[in-house]
Structure 1
């Protein structure tokens, strides 16, 4: 029996306590965490495999590779660039999943405020498989509006991110 790891959630962002929560996961064969991880933490390649991200910037320097405690910003889902902060980053290792999470915020009027935690887990599974899990917990009126739409744009957008990430990892491995 294989026990799969889970995202570590800060209490302030526990799934089901906010206005929108989405969870997307893929398990694919013939890829490893080492194939996927560099494409996830290097923001300079995000736009090459995910079309719902733009305007990535590092207002205090650093980047394009994400690191713990790094501040960055990016636009997504039609929002102006969100202020983001990496709160967890641990590369995958032998028997240890990779973990990445960031908070992202939009200030403004109460109708505009958005606060999220987007988390990733990348782990090798037996049999030459890799599991990629991404989950996001969101708070604010814009999050509630996304959650009320059918289909949920956040759910579909994150699936597109996963699919693009897997395709890019396969291309990188095969080149």
Structure 2
């Protein structure tokens, strides 16, 4: 199935392009979060997402960020490091990085893996869409698919820490794009006592 792209139909929305290994519904853990915000554009959201040095300014659930050697803007083929959800520092490889332009959605995706035995190994694919919608709205979709025992354990936790954390990421993006400041103590993860950093 080909992902849709914006057309003259105001209801058409784009979809994540999944590598077969990470196809939702076939992995140990999958989460999907989305927001649609009025009076913002993809061009306002994208720089905050694509520039890894901006993440900690609006998303408190990440730490130990090391930008790619090529610079802070994530580009396909680049490698960067960060930690999130209390995992050790991950080495992430950018698989997609296409800025939004001329009615096409922005696409960003990376894969990362933690090596180890059956109890420690996890393989992750995290993808984003940023697209303008009619009426001066922007849609931001983030989905993550994970393989491995730690991922299955994460999926079974309640409250669902990944859903809450990714919603914090989306909310933070919108707040930052509007010129606001994220208050760490007011995030979903902080309010539930699940914030890792």
TM-score (norm 2): 0.84
Q: Which moved more, 1:14-23 or 1:102-111?
A: 102-111
The secondary structure found in structure 2 opposite 1:171 is coil
Aligned length: 171
**Matched residues in 1 for 2:136 and 2:163: separation?**
27
Q: Which residue of 1 aligns with 2:28?
A: 19
Map residues 140-151 of structure 1 onto 2, 5 A cutoff.
140-151=148-159
* Counterpart residue number, 1:76: 84
Q: For structure 2, list consecutive stretches of 5 or more residues without a partner in the other structure.
A: 1-9, 181-197
The CA distance in 1 between the partners of 2:71 and 2:113, in whole Å, is: 19
Q: CA deviation at 1:63?
A: 2.6
Aligned match of 1:30 in 29, 39, 54? 39
Instruction: Write the distance in 2 (CA, Å) between the matches of 1:61 and 1:45.
Output: 16
What CA RMSD, in Å, does the superposition of the two structures yield over aligned residues? 1.1
Counterpart position of 1:152:
160
Please say if residues 20 and 143 of structure 1, whose CA atoms lie closer than 8 Å, have aligned partners that are also in contact.
Answer: yes
> How far apart, in 2, do the equivalents of 1:78 and 1:27 lie?
28
CA apart distance, 1:97: 0.3
CA deviation profile, 1:29-62 (whole Å, cap 9, x unmatched) = 000000000000101110010001111114x722
Q: Which residue of 2 aligns with 1:115?
A: 123
Point out 4+ residue stretches in structure 1 off by more than 2 angstroms.
Answer: none
CA-to-aligned-CA distance 1:6-44 (integer Å, 9 cap, x gap): 111111110111110000000010000000000001011
For normalisation by structure 1, the TM-score amounts to 0.95
